[in-house]
Chain A
């Protein structure tokens, strides 16, 4: 066991930068007057950009750090970029939101940064304890963020529900980790996979432990039946928080599932495949079916987020089924998550704007005729929804295509068939909002005030990203393939 070196710290540079910036924001908060809390947002944004720069610089020093607790590899690097992007977009979307909703707490930004830090630790961790602590950091931050609109009953309810159920699910994860450690004597993923591939490893209880661990992670990515909190919490939490919630912890948990279930535990093939397959099937179908009759946009997007998790699981099942040729499936998952992050964060922060002060207008009908009041805003939302539904020439289409193709190549014909049918059905509920905006008369109740510029910038960034991925995915696919390479 070598002592800690400077290199170890370099390999967690983004996390260090983020945490330091969060502490800076937190310490500065009491000295900033309530009307200038936005300044803290810009400090946080600088922190996020700096973390991104650190992540880029770190590429030269890739390798394991802190005795194998964490790894700086292309996989982690990819996800760190993704999480930082989600955080940055959320931040841009929440600056004006906090003002209109009279939330003058600089802690919001500190918690956002810390939540991102936790998620970054999760994706880089190669050790179960580290994964657990990262997960807890990001969870607790998001629990509190969900209850940030304290005057609102729905927000309080979301906070409490998320906290109770989240703790419940995390207990399963911890239980699973405890079993794994008890049976193998290690929590390190590399050592774990060595021990498991050794002949004579006797599995039954260990596989039970794996299922328990999957429950904790499945809760975060909201796979059926562990999705049950999602609609209520997504609807009740402040919309920018929902934006963050639906992407960052989810992507991080997916990264962990990839690392643990596809990277470390190759010998648990049949079980893991079965888990992923059944979860994918249930999650897609339930998410889409339930979304069909939602009229509340936030709730609709919550179910859509569940459905998207289902498609991601299809890609994972494909990777698992493909055996040694898992790279394609993993890369498709990575690509999907990037596209999903762009679309979903943007959609939620835009909804945050439309819902107006106090988030009063969340119904699809509230957008009636918006296209004539604010054509730009309506067009923006339309493009985002169209991309979410997987329309060609947008990121959403390509993401789906890539996942489905991986599934077909892995000969998961039945699952692909269900996925295709699901995506066909899904268009219907996305377009419901579009129809309300374009094809019905009336004055929109939703906020028709012009887009504040930070939100506009975030949306522009997302849309450029969505069309870039939809029209020129080649460089990005290469990136995803590179990121998938550390996993076998």
Chain B
């Protein structure tokens, strides 16, 4: 179990780095699928099968296909590196390390020893209960969020 977790975690991180560092958009999208799949493995390990399957079907399946399609449609090629910010380029990496170190330090202080995850009840029924009872309002309101996004896409893309 633990070994499997570490494998999935390392693959997720490496693939995520690849998403950011790749210069060809299609590769980035494909690597993102790897990230999502390894996350699904972690969900499985935690006992959340439903979430894991949804993750694979919806994100890795549907959404990423859409991504790839759009990238093809736009005929996006290799990025040409822009000028950007020199400060961010040279200091961004060290800053990231510092940031991670801080989080790890805090986590270390909080859990000096090994911590075990609490048992999860993440079956479809439990999730249904949460979504339609406790979190029904956030769940419904998300529709407005999506509506706003669609509206925005239409406005920005519309011919004037």
Question: Do A and B touch, yes or no (CB under 8 Å, in the complex)?
Answer: yes
Please report A residues at the B interface, Cβ cutoff 8 Å.
Answer: 1, 3-4, 8, 12, 19, 23, 26, 65-67, 69-70, 105, 107, 110-111, 114-115, 117-118, 121, 127, 129-130, 133-134, 136-137, 140-141, 143-144, 147-148, 150-151, 159, 183, 185, 202-208
Nearest-CB residue, chain B, relative to A105: B155
Nearest-CB residue, chain A, relative to B143: A19
A205 touches B109 (CB 8 A): yes
A204 touches B106 (CB 8 A): yes
Task: Tell me what chain B mostly uses at the interface: helix, strand, loop, or mixed.
Answer: helix
Contacts known (A208-B103, A208-B106); A130 close to B137, Cβ less than 8 A: yes
Which among B106, B137, B155 is the interface contact of A66 at CB below 8 angstroms?
B137
B142 touches A114 (CB 8 A): no
A144 touches B155 (CB 8 A): yes
Residues of A within 8 A of B103 (CB): 208
B141 touches A107 (CB 8 A): no
Residues of B within 8 A of A12 (CB): 137
Which among B118, B138, B152 is the interface contact of A185 at CB below 8 angstroms?
B118
Which among B110, B136, B158 is the interface contact of A67 at CB below 8 angstroms?
B136
B138 touches A133 (CB 8 A): yes
B148 at the interface (CB under 8 A from A): yes
Residues of B within 8 A of A114 (CB): 144, 147-148, 151
Q: Which 8 A-B pairs have the closest CB atoms?
A: A144-B152, A66-B137, A205-B110, A204-B109, A208-B106, A69-B137, A129-B138, A205-B106
Residues of B within 8 A of A23 (CB): 147
B13 at the interface (CB under 8 A from A): no
Could you pull out 23 A-B pairs where Cβ atoms are within 8 angstroms? A1-B133, A1-B134, A3-B133, A4-B136, A66-B137, A69-B134, A69-B137, A107-B154, A110-B151, A114-B144, A118-B144, A129-B138, A130-B138, A134-B141, A137-B144, A137-B145, A140-B148, A140-B149, A144-B151, A147-B156, A159-B156, A204-B109, A208-B102
Task: Tell me what chain A mostly uses at the interface: helix, strand, loop, or mixed.
Answer: helix
B135 at the interface (CB under 8 A from A): yes
A129 touches B145 (CB 8 A): no
Complex Cα spacing A151 to B106, Å: 48
Please report B residues at the A interface, Cβ cutoff 8 Å.
Answer: 102-103, 106-107, 109-111, 118, 129, 133-138, 141-142, 144-145, 147-149, 151-152, 154-156, 158, 160
Nearest-CB residue, chain A, relative to B155: A107
Residues of B within 8 A of A137 (CB): 141, 144-145, 148
In the complex, how many angstroms separate the beta carbon of B12 from the nearest chain A beta carbon?
15
Contacts known (A70-B137, A111-B151); A144 close to B144, Cβ less than 8 A: no
Complex Cα spacing A23 to B109, Å: 49
Residues of A within 8 A of B102 (CB): 208
Residues of A within 8 A of B109 (CB): 204-205
Residues of B within 8 A of A107 (CB): 151, 154-155
Complex Cα spacing A67 to B129, Å: 12
Which among A4, A19, A127, A204 is the interface contact of B138 at CB below 8 angstroms?
A127
In the complex, how many angstroms separate the beta carbon of A183 from the nearest chain B beta carbon?
8
Residues of A within 8 A of B137 (CB): 8, 12, 65-67, 69-70, 130
